[in-house]
Amino acid sequence: MTLIEAHPHGPSQTHSRTLFSSYRLGGLALPNRVVMAPMTRVRAAAGGLATPSMATYYAQRATAGLIVSEGVQPSLIGQSNPGTPGLYTDEQVASWRPVTAAVHANGGRIFAQIMHGGRVSHPDTTGLVPVGPSAVAAVGEVFTPAGPQAAPAPRALDTAEVPEHAQSYAAAARRAVDAGFDGVELHGANGYLISQFLSSNANLRTDRYGGTIANRVRFAVEAVAATVDAVGAARTGIRLSPGGTFWGVEEKDVLELYTVLLGELARLEPAYVHLEATADDDVLVALRRAWPGTLIMNPVVPMGPKRGGRPDADRWLGLGADLVSFGRAFIANPDLVERLRGGLPIAPDDEATYYQGGDAGYVTYPAYQHAG
């Protein structure tokens, strides 16, 4: 694989690029290039409220160059899982302020990931029939208050309704900034609403939002444009999973699809694009070359068999990534940056506590204990 020598940011950002060198992201000065990836932890209180334990959890991990929060729904109909937080009521905004304040007090920076589940939802969770680009059910079982259930067929959005769902990301972004977040990341990956519009099997539309690649990228571009208008480009990022098959989505012409999308997004100059390693290296490197802005690379497939480590990060910095995100490694290692820097052991996490609620396996993992 040919390493990328030139870089769109110019020599000022490429000099001595290591995982622990500083980086300027929009209006933020990041002390290192380690990003905490968004991870669902289902610890929110009733009404989608953030909690004191969530403040502790994120503050413990504030040495990351950037934290991206768990997915936060922009509306009730956008909620995918029970127990997830929202950013669509005044009470939710107020509940997030102690979280962002705790991260900032510990010297950190945090973006809220805005996640509209689209068809990956259930009436037992929201009281509403899920919506999607077409009336095609997701593959698999979705979480509900009564346990896993088959994903229901969503109601296909009318053309006139689509813009309000694009605007919901922007409305949530305004609330996120009001709650003290440094910015937002639109969840355009992993089979959720933006990903559903990009898909060639979840999106069977024949209007301006379906069919051609230009039409299938339209929803993503409109959501980012609305968010940039709402809170500014420097506070707006998007996460994408090129070629990913989460929840049964398929994408034809992956390289062309994402090259067109990145070209459209480049005109909006968002703070970053966050790619997952859901395609072959040649596709991902081509997308790096196609994207003129900051790239965050998640170097392993989320929830896949491999967990990202220092070699994966160094490899992708060599291939042109600016920042590298780590997911599961941050669960059991609140001091992950220090462990990576010092070559210290990465503690294992307990999968049984990922989604069980409570503080165990959430805020109970210790920092590395050096021998006295």
10 Å CB burial of residue 336 (0-12, 13-18, 19+) is: buried
Active site residue 209: no
Q: How far is CA 155 from the centre of its chain?
A: 25
Q: Can you spell out the DSSP letters for 90-142? A: HHHHHHHHHHHHHHHHTT--EEEEE---TTS--HHHHSS--EESSS-PPSSEE
Backbone angles phi, psi at 240, to 5 degrees: -135, 150
Backbone angles phi, psi at 29, to 5 degrees: -100, 110
Using alpha carbons, list the distances in angstroms from residue 132 to 139, 149, 226: 14, 18, 19
Cβ–Cβ < 8 Å for 66, 25: yes
| Annotated catalytic residue, options 88, 169, 192, 272 | 192
Helix/strand/coil for 265: helix
By annotation, the residues acting in catalysis are 192
